[in-house]
Amino acid sequence: MSIAFLDRGCRQVCKALEKESIRTLPILAKVTGIMRIPFINKHFISLVPAFFLLLSCSTVMAAEDADPELLPTQQQVLEDQQSGSQNEAAAEQTLSAEELAELEQTALERSLQLQRFEERIATLESAVGPYDASLIEALGDMARYYLEIGRPQAAVDLYERVLNVTRITDGLYGQSQLPVLEALTDAHRAAGNWQLTDDREYLAFHLKSRFFPAGSQALADAVMTLANWKLQALQGNLLRGSSNAALRDLDELHDAYLSALTPLDPQAMGDHQPVDSATRLSLLYGKAQAEFSFGAYLANSVPSYLRFPVDRYVSEYVCRDVAGADGQVRRSCGTVRVENPRYYEYEREKSRYRDSIRRSLISLGDSVEALRLLVEQDPDLAGADQVPASVRLQEAESMAQELQRGYRRSAVW
């Protein structure tokens, strides 16, 4: 059938060629002797796609007329593929059913465990009241279980209640609330409550600054905990605060570092441990980071209008009523030089940026010198993160050089 179709198509093409009076040229063939091919003109080119279409159709029909002995083999392969797909689908359905049963079992176990927690808390409340200290442990156990099963907001609500009960029983400034605040902060962080996390971090640091004196190891640990959170919040812009709020946080963090680096009072050494060398290294490097961040932020946020100087005096056209010699009042106008009110605003704003960046540079230089002294005293010293002191010194020196370059490129240099 395909050969007959091809012959019929070729005859139609040849008729079209004769109709168009296509000339032919003689050429020499190796096998058939003299043969003729159409002279290539615009008519022949227009018929080439039709000819190739006929060839493709004949190829498809030839495949349909192929040896029927190959069909059973192909059918067997197709059946094997279909059966394999069905087996895979059945296996997936079986696995999904097993997973579903496991999830249902897990949900049932969690529901029963939460019910036991609630019954225990209800029993205690009916026996001793809603604000007794014995509720702290039961509420804390339930809050920790909520964190384990991935429900941080429910854990936050319970930890808030634990904090209230603790402050009622132990006072507003009792040290027993510090572990509760730490757990509550972690729960807020897991729930994504960044502003509440910041509030609880500040509350914990405020309490620790009352409990531990300046220069003690405990206060140094509290400062580093607050600093880690603050740097994370500023780098990720978690609090969505303004630039002034970020600068205020960095300034407060700098003051906290200074308090932790203050030598411990000799009278307090009996009750508190002084800061060790490794912690001092971490504090100095953190202080350098805060100073660099503060100065670099100011250098990069200098308003563009400070790049253009403002004249101290400006010319104004002024008219006055002046009495003449004959007593008649006449209007006299002229140009006079007066002080420019924008000049003092410009100088005041420029001085604010310049002085703040210079203070950061000076403080950063002091931190670099303190780090260099630590390296000279103990070259093998490493911080709490096991980073050598020499590496921290190089990083602090790089920060100081970068801040100096940024200051020189700014408009207030």
Structure tokens at 174: 């009792």
Q: What is the pLDDT of residues 337-392, one digit of tens each?
A: 888 988 988 889 899 999 999 999 999 999 999 999 999 999 999 988 889 999 99
* 233-283 pLDDT, tens digit each: 988 889 888 888 888 999 999 999 999 999 999 888 888 999 999 999 999
Q: For residues 199 and 201, give the distance between their C-alpha atoms in angstroms, rounded to a whole number.
A: 5
How high is the pLDDT of residue 202? 95
Alpha carbon distance 373, 377 (integer Å): 6
Question: Measured between alpha carbons, how far is 351 from 317 in angstroms, rounded to an integer?
Answer: 31
What pLDDT is attached to residue 43? Answer: 43
Average pLDDT over residues 175-203: 95
Q: What is the separation, in whole angstroms, between the first and last Cα of the chain? A: 92
Distance CA 257, CA 222 (A): 10
Could you tell me which residue, 80 or 321, shows the higher pLDDT?
A: 321
Specify the pLDDT at position 116: 94
CA distance 16 to 4: 19
List, for residues 3-19, the tens digit of each pLDDT value.
Answer: 444 444 445 444 444 44
* Helix, strand, or coil (residue 105): helix
Report pLDDT digits (tens) over 193-232: 999 999 999 999 999 999 999 999 999 999 999 999 998 9
pLDDT at 302 > cutoff 90: no
